[in-house]
Amino acid sequence: MRTRWLAVALLWPITTAVAESRPYPITEERTACSAYEPFKRPFFGDTHVHTAFSFDANTQDTRITPDEAYRFARGEAHGIQPYDVDGKATRSAQLRRPLDFTALTDHAELLGEVRICTHPGLPGSESDLCWVYQQQPIAALLALANRAMVDRERFHFCGKDGARCLQQSAAVWKEIQDAAEVAYDRSAACSFTSFVAYEFTGSTDANLHRNVIFRNAKVPDQPPSWVEMGSAYRLWEELQKECVDGIPGCDVLTIPHNSNLSGPGMMFETAKLRSNADVGAEVTLEEARLRQRWEPLAEVMQHKGDSECLLGGDTTDEACGFEKLPSSTFQGVGAWKRPNAPAPDARGMVRDALKKGLVLEQKLGVNPLKYGLIASTDTHLGTPGLVQEDDGKGHGGAGSRTLRGLPDDLEFNPGGLAVLWAEENSRDSLFAAMQRREVYGTSGPRPVVRFFGGWEYADDLCADPAFVERGYAGGVPMGGDLPKAPADGAPRFAVRAAQDPGTRAVPGTPLQRIQIVKGWVEGGKAREKVYDVAGGDNGASVDTATCERKGKGAAQLCAVWIDPDFDASENAFYYARVLENPSCRWSQQLCVEAGVDCSDPSGIGPGYEACCAAEHRPTIRERAWTSPIWHRP
């Protein structure tokens, strides 16, 4: 175990520095962090979390408030649903390792409506809809979602022009800000960072949701929502007006998520899209620039599936079968499931978006889909960072939250984590990391991954104690553009990964391989290829009857790789993917714990029938995805 920790520690040395040396703007008053690393450290967090303030979580009996969610992220145990007749939680959850940062992203839509319907005495709380909300919350959920997300209208009990609901929305938004302030460690210890944030829940026939993350405590009085805005483009215009131009020191970015549920890739169509009728509309140079400014990151994984890639066509990458949903819209998953839902669509995958961005760049001169990659949970239990496969709770937005059997539908998973390479654990430093895309995502574990691109990295760089320093000096980190190419030669990429050490009680899983995924444009068409650059098939396996992992793996992998197919005239991107050895999926962990024997139907307890379903995937290969590095001719 000690050698694993040493391998991780070697990826960054710890030093201190004075505030004047910060290479990013300081936009808030706080004590400078005592631990400052100019070559950056990895901070693990969650940028997609729902609490009792979100309409869907609330109607499914989530009771954790923003204040409690932040305390959970810092390591406190909390009770979760279902609750008994006395209001006592019948389950509990706790992180084995606290998070470094968290952004709570309750839906801006219906903040006021939920407050009114859950607080008798407020004007409007006596309405028929609020009565239904109290008596049959799931029925109310459907009514609320349709009115706000599809019709983009307020209910009558909101009063003229929705004034009552908007007034209550502003009050709830203030509570969200206050909770973030209480949670934020402004001392020199910098033990935890909170971000003021929310979800913009854009919906047509497909998912257009985005998380909106503010840099600091300077935010608008009201979070702009889908009800009023109606498109991502309009959202950005409003954020420019109300935040960047309207409040000194205000800054913000948006992060699209669940592009796997955006139908035929509607997430990556024009940002002015309001309905299916807008699919195929032209993307202008102005829009491309606007999108690149506002949207530097995309969420590649969360509890509603993996959005990296999809097998078929140009994609022959077997690892693309990881945690896929059975549909490309909400119509085919979870509580919304209905017959004849549309099948998964590659156009909704982030890799296809990255490729599409290269094609648009050749046409416009600007790449509007230039995304760094992160992951998060999208928990609807108010439990940020709850990604433990061996302690699956479901995340509430789709799960049954029952004590009998599996707590979630088979197609869902515990979600992932966002990792930011930053100098210190402060809002300014972490936000700057997101803006420059020096970030990566994981499917839950905490491996430490470095990825650099340049033209002259030495073949023996992996053995150099100054790997990180030379990585920065000789090129760019994940999220950057390769420096101008020399007269000839191909780019070199240095990638290094250390396995998640886990904890003493639950050790992490060794690494199997590192791959580099390349996308490029050839003859006007986007292409892709996956290269194994370190590790490889090692014979590792997992006994699904016991979940015991077998075979050897690596505590650390490293490689300096040269693109053998490089053409200097082609636009291209490269990102690294790190794969662990196989392990048991959350569902199989619970099936084994319950003693399920699929060969004996009498041994399958109530609620565990899914353990033996044909679609059950008992094993997984956990992973990490770095942000790309781009080559521009």
pLDDT in tens, 145-195: 888 888 899 999 999 999 999 999 999 999 999 999 999 999 999 999 999
Please tell me whether residue 148 adopts helix, strand or coil conformation: helix
Residue 575 has pLDDT above 50, yes or no: yes
Token pair in block for residue 160: 């003229």
Please state, as a whole number, how many other Cβ atoms lie within 10 Å of the Cβ of residue 420.
27
Q: pLDDT tens digits for 519-545?
A: 999 989 999 999 999 999 999 999 999
Give residue 487's pLDDT: 80
Whether 327 and 366 have beta carbons less than 8 Å apart is answered as no
Token pair in block for residue 540: 């590792």
For residues 335-351, average pLDDT = 89
Residue 469 has pLDDT above 80, yes or no: yes
Proportion of the chain above pLDDT 70, given as a percent: 95
Residue 10 has pLDDT above 50, yes or no: no
For residues 501-526, average pLDDT = 96
Proportion of the chain above pLDDT 90, given as a percent: 85
Give residue 2's pLDDT: 38
Residue 424 has pLDDT above 70, yes or no: yes
CA atoms of 352 and 444, how far apart (whole Å): 23
CA atoms of 211 and 302, how far apart (whole Å): 13
Residue 614 has pLDDT above 60, yes or no: yes
Q: Give the E-state strand segments of 423-547 in sequence order.
A: 439-442, 448-454, 475-477, 492-498, 511-522, 525-535, 541-543
Helix 66-73 to helix 163-183 angle (10° resolution) is 30
Weakest mean pLDDT among 107-121, 336-350, 351-365: 336-350
Whether 297 and 437 have beta carbons less than 8 Å apart is answered as yes
Give the pLDDT band of residue 141 (cuts 50, 70, 90).
confident
Please tell me whether residue 198 adopts helix, strand or coil conformation: strand
